[in-house]
Structures are given as structure tokens and as C-alpha cells.
Amino acid sequence: MPRLNFEGRDYALETGESVLECLERHGVALTSSCRSGVCHSCLIRVLEGAPPPAAQKGVKETLRAQGYYLACCCRPDADLKAERGAAQQRYRAIIESVHPLNATVARLRLTETNGFTYFPGQFLNLVHASGQVRSYSIASVPREDAWLELHVGLLPGGCISTWVHHEAAAGESVEFLGPQGNCFYVPGRSEQPLLLLGTGTGLAPLYGILRDALGQGHTGPIHLFHGSVRRDGLYLVEALRALEAEWPQFHYHPCVLEGPAEEDIAVGAIDQLALERVPSLKGFRVFLCGHPDLVRQMQRKTFLAGASLSDIYADAFLPAAAAASTPS
């Protein structure tokens, strides 16, 4: 009989039994609903072993890349080691630097992250000394950067953002949880065109995804649209223009809602500008990051413009601290 090691405890699987059925039989609570692989509420992360391919049927490629399987469809014929996921694993790090990117966005770099692994574009939950938790997307690329990079927007009354901008100092220790999120690049379709669209600090995950895709040899066209209300809200403009000059497949489109117009900076709503520049998204992989209203709107618009639902990846950013599990 195969055995299941789930979060440090061993369970015997009966013949033909699913992981979900085995855990329930032993009194282990695992979120589930449809029990047929449709709702995906029973996803688990396999650490060791090889579940059957049917256990990943319909699972997004970003989740497959992290080793996630459907417990209700996972009927192993060999031993497995699994867990619910990495979202609640705790890490400590040291602040390497805090540097302003514009008047309201600071770049926070962390080092000595104690074995923390991630995909560029995922997010983590930063834990403040007060106990408050806030989510921030990861802009760094592990094979290129010796640090973990976050872009922190200053929010009025925001406990963690105020601390980062005005109090955090190099050498200080911080705690965080993670990683989480499915908005990251998965190699394998290097010729596929990519659309990356975000506003404000929604650039952070897109910056990581862009550099990761280029570093992994992506050859298809990549369009990155970054929007702000005014010119002073944009950041990393020169760094992105340098990447555009270096990589012919990459096209950078900064845009603002309010003018005056400047050379190479478009004025108008980012959703309209993007679909004017790239009107047909058939065959595209799409990454959307920013305010939830914009993300929801763009999910619909990019789908109607031809992108497949399975190729649209999104992380919405809530400005309110109440959204502790939504990246900023």
C-alpha cells in the first residue's frame, strides 16, 4: 500500500483511494467542494513523489510549476509527501537597503532570506513588529539578484508603508510569510507574445516577470504598459527604456491619465491605450496587476480581444490595509 506523508504525519492509502478521501478518513480537514476536479478548492502541493497526470488536469501551468495537484483526483500508486502550500511558512531577512524610486514608492531590498524560494511576480506577506501584515509583490529575479526586492507605495496612515518609507533601516531584521500568487512566467512557449499591464506598484511583479522571461530566452514580442495618474507617478522609466534598447522583442509603453504629453509617454486611460496599440490578443499570454477594478475590467477586455482565459494571469492590488492577502 502506498503511504502519504502530509504535513509531517504518515497515512496509509487504501487501494484506489484519493488523497482527499484518505485524509478525510483519518480526520484531517482539507478544503473541498465538487470532489471531481472542477472547483480546484482541494489543491495540495506535492513535495516528493509522482502523482498521476490526471491529478493536474485543468490546473493552471503556474500552479503545476509549483507542484500543485488536486487531492480529489490524486490516486497515487507510490508514496507521496505533500502539504497544503507555502503561504504560511515564516522567514526572517535583513534589510539591505531602502531607496526612493519616486516621491511615493520606495524600493525595499532584503538579504539573508534563509532559503526562501519564489517565482518573480509572486508576492509575500510582510509582518510588522505591531503584528500587522501587508502583501507586496516580488520584483527581483533569484538567478540575477542577490536580494529580494519589493516596491512599497506610501499610503496615508499605512502602518507598514510608513515604517518602510520613514523608519526602516539597513541591518534591521524583518519577518515575512510566503510566497503566494500565480502571476509569474513559466517557460516553454518562448515564441508566444506577452502583454504585461499594470498601474502604480503593479509594476513590481511585471518588472520581475519581464526580466525573468528575457533571462529564460523568451523570443516572442513583450509589451509592457505601466500607467499612472501623472508623470511623477511613473518609476523605473530609464531602466525599462534601457531594457527596451537591449532587447528588440521588448516594447515599453509608459502612460499617464493627465498630461501634458511628453515624448514616448502616452496620455489616456491605460486600458484604451493598450488595446489601441495591441488590438488583437489572440495567442497572447497576459499578466495584469493593479487596482482590482482595473484588473477585473482588463480581464474581460483582454478575453474579448482574443486572449484565452487560461492565459490571463492577474493579481489585484487593494489600497486598503483590510486586504491583507492582496498584494501591493
Digit-coded pLDDT (tens) for 139-184: 999 999 999 999 999 999 899 999 999 999 999 999 998 787 889 9
pLDDT tier, 278 (very low <50, low <70, confident <90, very high otherwise): very high
Give pLDDT, residue 36.
83
Residues 37, 58, single domain; the answer is: yes
Please tell me the least confidently modeled range out of 53-67, 105-119, 151-165, 247-261.
Answer: 53-67
Residue 23 DSSP SS3: helix
Quick one: pLDDT at residue 114? 85
- Final residue of a domain: which of 48, 83, 118? 83
pLDDT classification of 324: cutoffs 50, 70, 90: very low
Tens digits of residue pLDDT in 205-262: 999 999 999 999 999 999 999 999 999 999 999 999 999 999 999 999 999 999 877 7
Q: Are 317 and 201 in contact (CB under 8 A)?
A: yes
Q: Dihedral (C-alpha) 171, 173, 177, 181: value to the nearest 10 degrees?
A: -20
So what's the pLDDT on residue 61? 84
- What pLDDT does residue 1 have? 84
Q: What is the mean pLDDT of residues 62-72?
A: 89
Q: Is 164 helix (H, G, I), strand (E, B) or coil?
A: helix
For residues 284 and 259, membership in a common domain is answered with: yes
CA 12 – CA 31 distance, rounded (Å): 20
Span 273-300, mean pLDDT?
Answer: 95
The total of structural domains in the chain comes to 3
User: Does residue 188 fall inside a structural domain?
Assistant: no
- Please check whether residue 322 lies inside any domain of the structure: no
- Reply yes or no on whether the pLDDT at 131 is more than 80: yes
Alpha helices, DSSP H, located in the chain: 19-25, 61-65, 159-166, 203-215, 237-246, 270-277, 292-304
Q: Is residue 273 part of a domain?
A: yes
Q: Pick from 22, 57, 83: which residue ends a domain?
A: 83
Judge whether 323 lies within some domain: no
Q: What is the pTM of this model?
A: 0.78
Structural domain for 29, as ranges: 3-83
Task: Check whether residue 309 and residue 215 sit in a common domain.
Answer: yes
Do 207 and 310 share a structural domain?
Answer: yes
pLDDT, averaged across the chain: 91
Contact 82, 47 (CB under 8 A): yes
Which of 36, 64, 83 is the last residue before a domain boundary? 83
| Res. 54: pLDDT tops 50 | yes
Domain CATH for 174: 2.40.30.10
Same-domain check for residues 281 and 202 = yes
Residue 320 pLDDT: 42
φ/ψ region of 51 (left if φ > 0, alpha if ψ in -120 to 50, else beta) reads: beta
CA-based angle 253:237:251, to the nearest 5?
Answer: 30
pLDDT-based confidence at residue 318 (cuts at 50, 70, 90): low
**Would residue 187 count as lying in a domain?**
no
pLDDT tier, 59 (very low <50, low <70, confident <90, very high otherwise): confident
- Looking at the structure, tell me whether residues 150 and 231 fall in a common domain: no
